[in-house]
A and B are shown apart, each in its own frame.
Chain A
Amino acid sequence: MNVLCIAGVLGSGKTTVLLEVARAMVERGEQLAIIENEIGEVGVDGGYVREQGLPVQELFGGCICCTLQVGLVETLRTVEGRYEPDWVIIEPTGLAAPGDILGLVVDNCPHVDTIRVLTLVDAPRWEMLLEVVEPLVTAQLGSADVVAVNKVDEVDADTQTAVLESVRTLAGTAPVLAVSATSGAGMKSLLGAVL
């Protein structure tokens, strides 16, 4: 069983990208399960993903990188038993530090073969997010295996170049791709990088 964690600040397009990745996995004939985590007691994304015909387990009322760590480990065991998936896609809250999730899974889930972290960046709001929640943004990029700068169709060419350069300084050795999950631009390269 392989795990893909799709991280990114609130509103960066995690659910939209997740659906595209999930569709690609289904087309390849892979079995998958999805774990949706929302920090509130009431979730929105899980129901939406389920309506697309995908198997979803939801974790509410906290964050799987900290307060719901036990819940994540138990849920991974549950989905393994229930769906026997080739892939589990985890969508943590937009406030999660994926490095903590990575460590948690590696330490507690020996049945997981590989875990990869895809971190999304919200191109139009990059500067603002960097100003207000820099530690979060930095942590999410620092743990990424692949970074996708999303919504590039919503910024001009100069802004896109500036955001990509800025993100690359924080992303270490992870490849940084420019994508638009809604228009489909760059998504083929992204799918190739994470699957």
Chain B
Amino acid sequence: MFAARAGVVFAQPAHADQLEDVVTRFFAALSDSLADAGCTLVGHIKGTLAARDRGDLAFHVTALGARPALTGGIAGAPKQGLLTINVIVFGVDEASLPAIVKDAWSRASGAETDWR
């Protein structure tokens, strides 16, 4: 299980569709990495990307390779946001899970990310 928050700063202001693309790429990258790490079952992978006063984008999946279900949305084109992520999977070494999640986010978003 891995649960964390992170401050996120994108290289450029990102519109809603770009943020949804980031989340979709993140899940694709994370699915590949979790499969490689021996994941036998996804409990859930869920989270939110929030931009102050602009709303938030919630996302979740319960299967590797699935497109994330997205709800909510972010108005305008924020450059910064707060990522909250909660990952519960089976079959993956617990100690390696944080690095897997962080690496997938980094590759998918290209954003400067401050994990807390």
Number of residue pairs spanning A and B whose beta carbons lie under 8 angstroms apart? 56
Query: Is the CB of B43 closer than 8 A to any CB of chain A?
Result: yes
Instruction: Output the nearest chain A residue to B116 by Cβ-Cβ distance.
Output: A42
Interface residues of chain B: helix, strand, loop or mixed (majority):
strand
Query: Is the CB of B73 closer than 8 A to any CB of chain A?
Result: no
Do residues A42 and B84 form an inter-chain contact, with CB atoms below 8 A?
Answer: yes
Query: Is the CB of A39 closer than 8 A to any CB of chain B?
Result: yes
Chain B interface bracket (under 10, 10 to 19, 20 to 34, 35 or more): 20 to 34
Instruction: Output the nearest chain A residue to B89 by Cβ-Cβ distance.
Output: A10
Beta-carbon contacts of B39-51 to A below 8 Å, as 1s and 0s? Answer: 0111110111000
> With A39-B88, A40-B3, A132-B41 known to touch, is A122 a contact of B62 (CB < 8 Å)?
yes
Interface residues of chain A: helix, strand, loop or mixed (majority):
loop
Q: State the CA gap A132–B42 with chains docked (Å).
A: 10
Do residues A38 and B41 form an inter-chain contact, with CB atoms below 8 A?
Answer: no
Please name the 7 residue pairs, one residue from A and one from B, whose CB atoms are nearest each other, closest first: A40-B3, A10-B43, A11-B62, A11-B44, A42-B3, A10-B44, A132-B41
**Given A42-B5, A48-B58, 14 more contacts at CB 8 Å?**
A10-B43, A11-B42, A11-B44, A11-B62, A39-B3, A40-B2, A42-B4, A42-B84, A43-B84, A44-B46, A44-B47, A47-B84, A128-B41, A133-B90
A interface vs B, CB < 8 Å?
A: 9-11, 38-44, 47-48, 94-95, 122, 125, 128-129, 132-133
